[in-house]
Structure 1
């Protein structure tokens, strides 16, 4: 039974690391969305206001050129924001992080349920439940947005240094 619980602990670590990594990726994507979105809104406002001023013939050509350049930059920022879709990415990473957190809590309950059980009948039940958890982790890994290696490694280091590892009754980690 200890081997089954050890595997559950490995899944717990994987779910925790991936969950944290997805939350970190969501923060990064949301920040990038703001870095493009806020200047885009500000420049759009400037262009919208300036266009009316440049309609008269008495306006200096440099002001007309500056308005055109700002309009071009605004269009580029809008295209980047639409193409890179950082807002959508942030939402998908956040949802994946929440799902990994849910699986991690399931594993907590699994360990609580089976940490004192030693009979063969209970082993079969534990293995069946652990297979379900494994399938859930595999499915989530397939449907989740891709994490960069850097984001995952930073999250792994942070998670490994901060989380209390689930222990088994009767003496420490398996």
Structure 2
């Protein structure tokens, strides 16, 4: 499977119901993966932001000293460089923006899952039109959603 081929046990779905059930499973996995990545990115943004606030606050307080020792001045200069570096990382990696994108994708996958669950809950089998509408929705979602790596998806599904 790691070489990009399908597992030998794969068999295509035989009915619209089976097809939608498989899509529902994959949508669930995508939903969990996006929520997991969103949470990780939000935490990274929070840690960086709090670190920057603490460092710059310490610098501000120390600048109020009338005659700081030379060691403190050197330390504060180094901390200013660290704060600048952390701010640059926060800007470059766009953690919060990416977190929101993943959270939005997760919510959209959840919405699509509820649609599939609703279709599957009725005693009549799904129609071709319902399957087409769900496929179009999933196609649009996958095209508009950021990627979730295999390792992040595996971690997300472990924590179910």
Report the counterpart of residue 140 of structure 1 in structure 2: 141
Mapped to 2, the partners of 1:10 and 1:156 lie a distance apart of 16
Report the counterpart of residue 91 of structure 1 in structure 2: 100
Mapped to 2, the partners of 1:5 and 1:19 lie a distance apart of 21
Mapped to 1, the partners of 2:76 and 2:158 lie a distance apart of 48
- Count residues with an aligned counterpart: 147
Structure 1 unmatched ranges of 5 or more = 118-122, 160-174
Mapped to 2, the partners of 1:83 and 1:116 lie a distance apart of 51
Name the structure where helix makes up a greater proportion of residues.
1
The answer as to 2:67 corresponding to 1:50 is no
Structure 2 unmatched ranges of 5 or more = 1-13
Q: Give TM-score scaled by structure 2 length.
A: 0.84
Q: State which structure, 1 or 2, has the greater radius of gyration over its C-alpha atoms.
A: 1
Mapped to 1, the partners of 2:145 and 2:84 lie a distance apart of 31
CA shift, 1:127, in A, is 1.0
Aligned counterpart in structure 2 of residue 11 of structure 1, from 18, 23, 38: 23
Aligned residue runs from structure 1 range 1-174, under 5 A? 3-53=15-65, 58-113=67-122, 115-117=123-125, 126-158=127-159
Note if contact 2:28-2:110 (Cα within 8 Å) is conserved in structure 1.
yes
CA shift, 1:157, in A, is 4.5
Q: 1:132 to 1:116 in 2, by over 3 A?
A: closer
SS at match of 1:145: coil
Note if contact 2:62-2:68 (Cα within 8 Å) is conserved in structure 1.
no
**Root mean square deviation of aligned Cα:** 1.7
Q: Give TM-score scaled by structure 1 length.
A: 0.78
CA shift, 1:158, in A, is 4.8
